Amino acid sequence: MASQTPNLGTLVRVFFGQDCDLFGESVEEILESYRDTENVMTVQKTVNEAQMFLGLYPDDTQLEFAFINLAEGEFSPTAWGYSTRRFLEKVIQTLSKGHG
């Protein structure tokens, strides 16, 4: 799965990893930082990967396990008050708002 979602994996592991405070204080701020840092094509690929990820795992339990593998222990949406599904929906919503 990681090979199908390289950009989403980078977002989750780097921007929401141990140094996430460098990118913002909230999920939305960190996502906006990612959107402003990456080029338009990468941001769109990340949105597409998040949509694909949600489509591949309609069951929340399967989605949780797949996301744990994707995050490689670097990030858990529940620590930020999000379910995995809601976090991915937030990724899609925020990154789709436009670049820069």
Kindly tell me if the per-residue pLDDT of 2 is higher than 90: no
Kindly tell me if the per-residue pLDDT of 39 is higher than 60: yes
Kindly tell me if the per-residue pLDDT of 32 is higher than 90: yes
pLDDT for 3 equals 78
pTM for the full predicted model: 0.93
Dist. CA 30–CA 26, nearest whole Å: 6
Distance (Å) of CA 72 to CA 59, 66, 69, 97? 20, 10, 5, 28
> Torsion over CA of 74, 91, 6 and 51, rounded to 10 degrees?
130
Dist. CA 9–CA 50, nearest whole Å: 10
Closest by CA to 90, choosing from 81, 6, 99, is 81
DSSP category for residue 58: -
**pLDDT confidence bin for 51, thresholds 50/70/90:** very high
Dist. CA 88–CA 83, nearest whole Å: 9
Kindly tell me if the per-residue pLDDT of 1 is higher than 70: no
